[in-house]
Amino acid sequence: MSCFSLLCGRKGSSSAAQPTGADIDLSSFKNINLYTYKELQIATENFSPANKIGEGGFGSVYKGKLGDGTLAAIKVLSAESKQGVKEFLTEIEVISSIEHENLVKLYGCCVERNQRILVYGYLENNSLAQTLGGGGHSSLYLSWHTRRNICICVARGLEFLHHEVEPHIIHRDIKASNILLDKDLQPKISDFGLARLIPANITHISTLVAGTAGYLAPEYAIRSQVTRKSDVYSFGVLLLEIVSGRCNTNRRLPAKERYLHTRAWDLYERGELESLVDSSLAGDFDVEEAIRFCKIGLICIQDSLQLRPSMSAVHDMLIGKTDVNEKMMSKPGLLFEFVETKDQGKQKGKVEEIEVENTSLMAMTSSERKDDLESSSFSGSTGSYATMTFTSIYDR
Ligand SMILES: Nc1ncnc2c1ncn2[C@@H]1O[C@H](COP(=O)(O)OP(=O)(O)OP(=O)(O)O)[C@@H](O)[C@H]1O
Ligand SMILES: [Mg+2]
């Protein structure tokens, strides 16, 4: 049986699909919704710029209406896939099998004409980056109650990926633009598993990070060490952003306030964490809870992987089931300053490549190695490297 006939009979496909390359037997991919290019062309009115809702490191995203009337976010991957159709669909099968109320649903994909297009559930209220980064101009007001709910739900979604999915999934790119809000402002994590679809080459780990370097755990940025704890670090940054209503890096601010990490730590040491809370809330928040959230954020961004809690522990602390243990907490790392010295003279928002070599952070302690060993096979973790290249866009 040819793949052509297989695709024609697939749910979600209403017209003939013509995969490129040699005929591929897709009969083993029974659980994937394969869309034809034509279907997606119709859904997006020929990928009309009017329907474009965003652009990220992986490509353009269009709003579309599928044949059955369902709204979808259609992501056209721009990077040339180094994977064959089979490998790509193997990853898609895993991702689309994962369902959780706090994760964006992957409906299916299109693999025609050398294209790699992902079809996701559409979320009405855009990403948290737009809301928080709106500088008060966003039409959405996030009350403390809503923020609290977003933090807890995102923690719950990550906890699910880390501790309930088998084998566990490390997101690798937790940040405000990957937290989407539905019509009721319920959050869903997007792009989990995406890093695997565009694999790094063998000698360098190429980590495509759209956002700021501020979300990257030091061991991830410097030596490509990917573990669940690198997601915990990114979550900690996100948590501080949600509570404070600001982006983790703002070069327009005076030096000592520029980085949310150091700002939060300074206020913590002075016993003034309350003043980190977003002033647009005009004092309408639960002070004790907000301070607790800030402390949880600070614990998540500890340099040492061992000091960072698991996402289950983070979730329990957020809902007040367990106490926040501050005893071992120390000042978060200074990766920013390190990166910034490499960044001198570079333009805002410019994509660049940074070579990082032989820093003190290259040395891995034996306990860190232990954590590294528990990395998910799905994460693509490869341990320690002598050099790495990462692509970043600074300042949202
Ligand atoms: N499922 C979706 N529903 C609604 N809007 C979406 C959806 N997915 C993406 N978007 C919109 O498209 C924008 C771009 O998303 P995309 O994931 O391509 O880029 P990003 O999150 O900014 O960066 P990255 O490529 O690193 O994930 C998002 O910020 C959001 O506004
Ligand atoms: Mg994204």
Three-state helix/strand/coil letters over 146-181:
HHHHHHHHHHHHHHHHHHHCCCCCCCCCCCHHHEEE
Query: Which DSSP letter does residue 35 get?
Result: P
- Residues 36 and 112: beta-carbon distance below 8 Å: yes
Q: CB atoms < 10 A from the CB of 384, how many? A: 16
Residue among 13, 208, 194, 228 at smallest CA distance from 95: 194
Q: Which of 51, 53, 65, 247 to mutate to test the pocket of ligand 1 (most atoms within 8 A of CB)?
A: 53
Strands (E), 191-296: 206-209
Cα–Cα distance, 96 to 94 (Å, whole number): 6
Do β-strands 33-34 and 106-110 pair in parallel, antiparallel, or remain unpaired? Answer: parallel
pLDDT at 371: 44
C-alpha 109 chain-centroid distance: 20
What is the number of the ligand closest to the CA of 75? 1
Average pLDDT over residues 43-49: 98
Q: What is the pLDDT of residues 214-264, one digit of tens each?
A: 888 988 888 778 899 999 999 999 999 999 999 998 888 998 888 999 999
**What share of the chain in percent tops pLDDT 90?**
55
Residue 81 has pLDDT above 90, yes or no: no
Catalytic residue among 23, 68, 173, 191: 173
Provide the residues around ligand 2 (an ion) whose CB is within 5 A: 56, 178, 191
- Residues 335 and 218: beta-carbon distance below 8 Å: yes
pLDDT at 78: 81
52-61, 250-259, 265-274 — which one is most confidently predicted on average?
265-274
Give domain limits for the chain: 21-121, 128-390
**Is the domain defined by 21-121 classed in CATH 3.40.50.300?**
no
Counting from 1 in the atom list of ligand 1, the atom nearest the Cα of 59 is: 18
Counting from 1 in the atom list of ligand 1, the atom nearest the Cα of 178 is: 21
| Any ligand 1 atom below 6 A from CB of 210 | yes
pLDDT at 54: 92
Residue among 213, 153, 221, 159 at smallest CA distance from 187: 153
| Any ligand 1 atom below 6 A from CB of 115 | no
For the domain 128-390, what is the CATH code? Answer: 1.10.510.10
